[in-house]
Structure 1
Amino acid sequence: MPHTSKLFLILLCCAANAAAQSETRQQPEALRASVADFLALQTAGLPGKVSVTVGAVDPRLNLPACPAPQAFLAPGSRAWGKTTVGVRCTAPSPWTMYIQASVAVQADYIASAVPLAQGQAIEAGQLVSLRGDLAALPAGIATDIGQVLGRSANVSLPAGTPLRLDTLRSKAVVQQGQLVRMVSSGAGFRVSAEARAIGNASEGQVVQVRTPAGQQISGVARAGGLVEVAF
């Protein structure tokens, strides 16, 4: 019995020491949870279904416990695909570490159903909706057909190409040779007159027009064949 009691006391002491160390050391699972919550917040506005996978944290990690660890994106990282998230502690003991993670975004995106010719206005029958991981595709992929209709490709594209918005031209609201209504405005006045467009322009783009007197003026193209000129 004396030996049994002594062994029991040793085990009890070891358990107490382990518990004390656990309270003073930062728990790896708490760090992984902090990263997962951070990425879920960062991707809350993305379309489709988002899934976050956080990499393992070395169980031998020996950092002081932090009551409020703060997650942040490492320089050059983004909140989807394969990424790196930093976690820092400011008090009571400052430290910083980095954890690998992966964010997949399963959503519909728009691709060409047939080859698209450069400069040709895109129609609904030329498009197809596919589903995949947006994080594995280039940035700026169209996710709604309305983002693409009426626009044109900067270069010819083969069938099956995911459509990037930065490679598409907006539909022209003013076309070369078109008779437009030029509206001039300034402090206390507004004058309109007819002019002829010298080039093509999408909504909000700058376009040059020529007045009946032959003067060339730059303005901002608007829908309905309007060109705004400010003085």
Structure 2
Amino acid sequence: MKQTSIPACCLPRHARPAWRLITSVVALGIGALSPLVQAQQAPAAIEARVQDFLRGQTTGLPGEVSIVVSPFDPNNQLPACAALEPFLPAGTRAWGRISVGVRCDSPVVWTAYLQAQVSVVADYLVAALPLRAGQIVGPADITVRRGDLSTLPDNTLTDPTQASGHHTRFAIAAGSPLRGDMLRIPHAVRQGQNVQVMSAGPGFRVSSEGRAMNSAAPGDSVRVRLSNGQVVTGIAQASGTVEVGF
């Protein structure tokens, strides 16, 4: 029985200890296949499949996305696949320099890996001036730069509304890209504050007044004690009101 070997380029480093097992599985499968099925996997097909997969993974990202897939080994000895299934290894984000897996389940099981570079060029925020800890960020404190977001932290801010009016958690040097974890959203409701509680349901909407039992930023949960002593839980709004649904 003639065995078909899989080139080392097609397996990640952590998978190489299983080399003999994978080779045996492929060899056993090929023995019963026709010469047509034993045809070599076309590099163009696998590269195009990875391109399409990454386009789908990056849909909705801000800015201009460009994808470059490294050429697949033209001398590979993999049997031609009936259905290529790309995937990202666990914990991999779909941008920057990444490794994309391609799995084949028919007619022979094998897995290969290609390298790809995904760039996302967009505007992002940086501190225009040195910012003090606890300072409220205003429009004059931020400026916009354009660059590849794949070289920056995942939570880099891209919209001025994500920073304006927020407090800095610590001092920030001028020119530093602004990240979400650098800022604290101001409380919309503070503990002990009198607030309007808006209750809504099918066909009705009523307003009552109560006292907030905890501080909360917009979108956070807040408990309110009403004038009759009842305690309700709602969502703090940017306006300072609390919405309670039924």
Give TM class, smaller chain: 0.7 to 0.9
Q: Which deviates more, 91-100 or 115-124?
A: 115-124
Shift of 1:161: 1.8
Match of 2:139 among 124, 128, 133: 124
Contact 2:221 2:235 in 1 (8 A): yes
Q: Distance in 2 between matches of 1:212 and 1:90?
A: 65
Shift of 1:22: 11
- Cα deviation, 1:92-122, whole Å, max 9, x if unaligned, reads 2221111111111111111111122333321
Matched residues, percent identical? 47
Change (3 A) 1:154 1:207: farther
Residue type of the partner of 2:155? Answer: G
Match of 2:242 among 223, 227, 230: 227
Residue 169 of structure 2 corresponds to 154
Residue 114 of structure 2 corresponds to 99
Question: Going by fraction, where is strand more abundant, 1 or 2?
Answer: 1
Shift of 1:69: 1.6
Q: Which deviates more, 53-62 or 103-112?
A: 53-62
Q: Does 1:179 align with 2:183?
A: no
Residue type of the partner of 1:140? Answer: N
Change (3 A) 1:215 1:91: closer
Alignment of 1:1-231 (within 5 A): 24-176=39-191, 178-182=193-197, 193-197=208-212, 200-207=215-222, 219-228=234-243
Q: Distance in 1 between matches of 2:43 and 2:153?
A: 33
TM-score by length of 1: 0.75
Q: Secondary structure at the match of 1:100?
A: strand
Shift of 1:61: 0.8
Change (3 A) 1:223 1:82: same
Shift of 1:192: 5.1
Contact 2:37 2:79 in 1 (8 A): no
Shift of 1:39: 1.1
Change (3 A) 1:213 1:91: closer
Contact 2:216 2:236 in 1 (8 A): yes
Change (3 A) 1:32 1:191: closer
Q: Distance in 2 between matches of 1:33 and 1:183?
A: 54
Q: Secondary structure at the match of 2:188?
A: strand
Q: Distance in 1 between matches of 2:245 and 2:226?
A: 15
Give the aligned CA root-mean-square deviation in angstroms: 3.2
Shift of 1:215: 9.0
Runs of 5+ consecutive residues of structure 1 not aligned to the other structure = 1-19
Shift of 1:23: 8.3
Runs of 5+ consecutive residues of structure 2 not aligned to the other structure = 1-34
Residue type of the partner of 2:173? Answer: P
